[in-house]
A and B are shown apart, each in its own frame.
Chain A
Amino acid sequence: MIQMKSRLNVIDNSGAIVAECIKVLKNAKWAEVGDEIVVSVKKARPISDKTSGSLSAAKIRKGDVRRALIVRTKKEIRRPDGRYVRFDDNACVLLNNQQQPLGSRILGLVSAELRFKNWVKVVSLAP
């Protein structure tokens, strides 16, 4: 249940750490796992010219506006078998405008709902 102003942890290695939702990209108030949102990066890992080689091509800085995919929510999600699953935090993965993940690795779990919403690339990156 992510809405505007919700903060999420960024769990890929794009360089951002905390992102704040500024727009839910569907015709609803809230976004759940597997939904796209537009985020503003609130905290990012410091970028120095020396380490730029190890990062992905895009350099994420604080204040960047990017798209993101919600991968974990504290609000429980209903599974088709009737189970409800919820995580301990809200987390997202940064995407570019072509819906491809910006980072090359994903640290931490992602919800299994992503598979059903066709985010195969993200799912394959996750452990």
Chain B
Amino acid sequence: LEICSFSGYKIYPSRGRTFIRGDSRTFHFLNSKTESLFHQAKNPRKIAWTVVFRKMHRKGISEEVAKKRTRRAVKYNRAIVGTSWEAINARRNEKTEIRSAARAEAVKKAKEQRKNEAAKRKAERAKNPTADQKYSKQQARGAATKVQATSR
């Protein structure tokens, strides 16, 4: 399968002509059109439909070049200041039951603590009934003394 020396098209068998010049250079032509243009000494780079021209002016190449360039984000295992990588990994790989159990425990603990505190406060209040009364700041200061007239 040859390529036309002028236009760059493929020449299938039994098509076109071959020309051997005096200096022994061989030229293949697809048809009489290309052959004629060649002998008129036309420059294929200036003939708009030839492969040479299209390459030079970069026609129709954009379709081939636009491949999809996917950049894959690389995952890194990084430790954070405060917790080491193993701690993070352990946390991540905890099983859900363990986690929920831990959570339930924490909840229980918190509830208990709150209960205890409430009980404590109640006991304190029972001891000092007034100590815990809420006064506003103004009340604590006392009423402003009335200004008495000292002179007339």
| Distance between B78 CB and nearest chain A CB, rounded to angstroms | 68
- Decide if B17 touches A108 in the complex (CB within 8 Å): no
- Interface-facing stretch out of A24-32, A38-46, A62-70, A82-90: A82-90
Q: Which bucket holds chain B's interface residue count?
A: 10 to 19
Complex Cα–Cα for A84 and B21 (A): 14
**Across the two chains, which residue of chain A brings its CB closest to B2?**
A83
How many A-B Cβ pairs are below 8 Å? 35
A125 within 8 Å of B (CB atoms): no
Taken residue by residue from 66 to 105, chain A's Cβ proximity to chain B (1 for < 8 Å, 0 otherwise) reads as 0000001000100001111111110000000000000000
A109 within 8 Å of B (CB atoms): yes
Secondary structure dominating the interface of B:
loop
Taken residue by residue from 1 to 45, chain B's Cβ proximity to chain A (1 for < 8 Å, 0 otherwise) reads as 000000000000111111111101000000000000000000000
Residues on A with beta carbons closer than 8 Å to the beta carbon of B17 = 76, 83-86
Residues on A with beta carbons closer than 8 Å to the beta carbon of B15 = 82
Residues on B with beta carbons closer than 8 Å to the beta carbon of A85 = 17-20
**Across the two chains, which residue of chain A brings its CB closest to B25?**
A88
| Distance between B22 CB and nearest chain A CB, rounded to angstroms | 4
- Decide if B22 touches A83 in the complex (CB within 8 Å): no
Residues on A with beta carbons closer than 8 Å to the beta carbon of B19 = 85-88
Which A positions have Cβ atoms within 8 angstroms of B?
Answer: 72, 76, 81-89, 108-109
Which B positions have Cβ atoms within 8 angstroms of A?
Answer: 13-22, 24
Knowing that A87-B20, A88-B21, A89-B22 touch, tell me 17 more A-B residue pairs with CB under 8 angstroms.
Answer: A76-B17, A82-B15, A83-B13, A83-B14, A83-B16, A83-B17, A84-B16, A84-B17, A84-B18, A85-B17, A85-B20, A86-B17, A86-B19, A86-B20, A88-B19, A108-B24, A109-B20
